[in-house]
Chain A
Amino acid sequence: MSAIRVNDFVVRFANVNGSGSASANQLFARAILRMGVPATPRNIFPSNIQGLPTWYEVRVSEAGHLGARGGTDLMVAMNPQTWDKDLAGITPGGYLFYDSTRPARHLREDVTVLGMPLTAMCNAEYQDPRQRQIFKNIMYVGALSALLDIDAAVVEQLIAEQFKAKEKLIAPNVHAMRLGRDYALANFACPLNLRVQRADKIGDRIFIDGNSAAGLGAVYGGATVCAWYPITPSTSLAEAFTRYCKRYRTEPETGRARYAIVQAEDELASIGMVIGASWNGARAFTATSGPGISLMQEFLGLAYFAEIPAVIFDVQRAGPSTGMPTRTQQCDVMACAYASHGDTKHVLLFPEDPRECFEFGAQAFDLADRLQTPVFVLLDLDIGMNERLCAPFAWDDSRRLDRGKVMTAAELEAGREFGRYLDVDHDGITYRTLPGTHPTKGAFFTRGTSRDEYARYTEEGSAYQRNMERLLRKFATAKQYVPRPVRRDAAEPTRFGAIYYGSTSPAMDEAATMLAAQGVALDLLRVRGFPFHDEVIDFVARHDKVFVVEQNRDAQMRTLLVNEGEIDPAKLIRVLHYDGTPITADFIAGAIADAADAAKIIPLRKAVP
């Protein structure tokens, strides 16, 4: 028997997708949060609607580690298809909970087996096949509440909240939960050595997925047009925008919509509509993933050269086709940074969690209008589709939408000079007019290239070159607007640094703590925007070696640093995780510890002459 572990373990549910397990599993995770203990769920799901294996992993960590950990302390094995793999994944000394209606095939000696005849119990209790399935899930949540010492009242309260609108469902759900709980109390030695103990480690934090948060950010950021094409893992972002718009953007007097959402025929049309709407002065965005970014390339170049604002949420996933694409990666960094043909560079934002998905989701629209260029918000599946504990959303009511340099009818009327591509402020950003502004002044013809400062057609090379140089000035201006990096220095001076971004954040934080305990001190810098702030380049300059931690094969952020910061590649050490699972602290700490050891070996001089 292993030692008692309080508020620090991983529970993994193995389910068949389409079996209704998702809401029961979520109920379990929320119950732990309500006990005041941080819990981080992660869905691992197939490109399928029904029948394939799916897993739901909940990491319970009073210390507040929100990254994936690896290993399973309690396996809730509800899927016969994956039995062998699930059984093998349990940490020695851990637990296996399974449906014992049918005898288990083979079991492990080093894990405690908890068999509960869930199917038999449900079949005895319910006649309707759908109820048998749904309540089986609630029943195991009840059993787990007893096994892990979760307060039944907390679970009951959550059920009541969940079915507030359908009150008659509360009693049957509570009943099913109680059936499971009572069985566990009667048949197992409850609680196990894995226990949830009330704590006060949640504070005012909220629990939400990044896609919903980004969709909400778009509402707060003033987006009125959304054009999108369904693609996992970004679909729920557009759906969240739709949901929040219905709630917050319905004109009270008329019931009419203060927004327009179009499910386009493909990603080309999506970005085309976004560009058309933004050209015409509405804030517009699309939500997509890597394949969509590939399809949008030509249009993105047009928006860059014609200088049209656009916001693109890219919820990144692994490579092409179906299968791995329902797994997480940070693999579109380069595709977005240099999207399109010709010389192009784009503004990128890297949120670490739902809170920043909201914040950057709103800010992206100000940036796009201010800089008159596409702005990418790079989420990934890990933060996009999983609920995560994060700081509550905040909004300053005095904040105004920054519509950037838009020349008004009054200014035109007053005789202010207008040249669409005339750099009057020397920051690379020029004034635009919106269609329909003034009867006789300010109209211009929008093209990609081949025009002068007054938007007149020209094929002069010098005009093209002047424009390209101005676009570089504009990109330099962008530095001051994108979110600054977040730096956290080690307790002691060190020559090692680590750069990371996006969803890698919690695993990196935890890894830094682990490494510090091993005597490896690391200064941390979390990059939040591109173009890189000068601080990013300084950080590299001030360290001998900088680990660049990311979730892709080709070290894309490292490439971008080398390319844009003129950094000696030898200084930047790759730490890469790209098997589709979220990066873990163990992985990062292991990779960095090994590399740091190697770096500490000072080669002896060859024979002294």
Chain B
Amino acid sequence: MSFLPKPRLHHPELPTNELGFTRRDYEGAISTLCAGCGHDSISAAIIRACYELSLPPHRIAKLSGIGCSSKTPTYFLGASHGFNSVHGRMPSVLTGANLANRDLIYLGVSGDGDSASIGLGQFAHALRRGVNMVYIVENNGVYGLTKGQFSATSDKGARSKKGVANTDAAIDLVGMALQLGATFVARSFSGDKTQLVPLIKAALQHEGAAFIDCISPCVQFNNHVGSTKSFDYVREHNEAVNRLDFITGRDEITADYAPGEVEIVSQHDGSLLALRKLHTDYDPHDRGSAINYLQERSAAGEIVTGLLYVDPDPQELHAHLNTTAAPLNTLGEAELCPGSAALAALNAALR
């Protein structure tokens, strides 16, 4: 759309967060996606989540693969390092980055083609390793950048804009993430900011593998009658399991919610998730029942959204590897190189 840089000036009275940053400080370049694209709403939700959490933008690394969704990291967090990598391979690049410096926040942005087709393997393995990250799939059920081919998350029976019916079974990334051991699994809808922003905030504070499948209709190629990922279809079939309110550890817990309707989940870093229960029988701590519930609602033609599963005490890859507390990229000669004396001893043992 536009290659014009955004004006740097902003209203002097824009509110600031705890770090003194305005929301504008979390923005990126002007989006070049199609007008009305669901992905832009997700970018806006990411910006808002990071702003509200007062995260220092430069302590976030944003990584993506290839596709429309993977272009979006240019459009948010302009003060963060970003990496537009290889199609379907964001998870491995993110894993490596995380190994190098455990102190940054890693935000992986991918799409349904990127994660469910070419990158299904990397999607699966990054989750099962427990990489501490937020992994968002901007799921539109279609290949946008190559103009409208079905993706692996397109529902069976869904029709493309040209009228072709999809005969392949759909991959449900949320179901897979649950099975693969992700410790935070959610689904949302790009058009539902009230649900999405708290979910992203909670995921950012989660110290483990957090996965959000965000249905994001493609206005060009997947927003027509017959599509199961159009704005209208998703709104009609959305079944929210809970409403999430996110409270950082610093905030006092207010008694906004009537007991019985709200469940407070304490995350490992001290932040709190308040789940406003819409379904009294829904338990976000039970992986098995989450999988069952998902299957059951899917059979009824409903798209379950909300926080489906969270492990309040997740284990992440660095804990598995028992890596030192200092980021590996900060270690110098003294910590890394055993030196000539050790080598002389080794030489002696090799004779």
Contacts and interface: CB of A to CB of B under 8 A. Distances in A.
Interface stretch (A436-444, A544-552, A574-582): A436-444
Interface string A256-296: 11111110111011111111111111101000000000000
A526 B41 CA distance: 60
B195 to A, nearest CB: 29
A500 B80 CA distance: 48
Contacts of B124: 265
Contacts of A282: 99-101, 328-329
A401 interface: yes
A433 interface: yes
A257 B95 contact: no
B96 A392 contact: no
Contact of A265 (B56, B99, B122, B323): B122
A274 B92 CA distance: 9
A247 B263 CA distance: 48
Interface stretch (B71-79, B211-219, B252-260): B71-79
Contacts of A279: 83, 93, 96-97, 100
A264 B125 contact: yes
A458 B98 CA distance: 29
Contacts of A443: 57-58, 78-82
B156 interface: no
A216 B84 contact: no
A220 interface: yes
A608 interface: no
Given A276-B94, A393-B343, A224 B337 contact: no
Interface residues of B, number: 62
A276 B95 contact: yes
Contacts of A204: 347, 351
A222 B339 CA distance: 11
Contacts of B322: 255-257
B321 A261 contact: yes
A392 B29 CA distance: 55
Interface in B53-68: 56-59, 61, 63
Interface string A429-466: 00001111111100111111000000001100000000
* CB-based closest 5 A-B pairs: A276-B96, A272-B92, A282-B100, A273-B96, A435-B81
Interface of B: 3, 29, 56-59, 61, 63, 73-74, 78-86, 89, 91-101, 103-104, 121-122, 124-125, 129, 317-318, 321-325, 328-329, 331-333, 335-340, 342-343, 346-347, 350-351
28 contacts: A202-B351, A204-B347, A207-B351, A225-B96, A257-B323, A258-B324, A258-B331, A260-B318, A262-B99, A262-B321, A264-B92, A269-B89, A269-B125, A270-B92, A272-B93, A273-B95, A275-B85, A276-B94, A277-B328, A278-B100, A279-B83, A279-B97, A280-B97, A281-B329, A392-B347, A396-B340, A435-B81, A439-B56
Interface of A: 33, 202, 204-208, 216, 219-220, 222, 224-225, 227, 248-249, 251, 254-262, 264-266, 268-282, 284, 298-299, 302, 306, 392-397, 400-401, 433-440, 443-448, 457-458
Given A216-B346, A251-B335, A439-B58, 5 more contacts: A273-B99, A434-B81, A443-B79, A446-B82, A446-B84
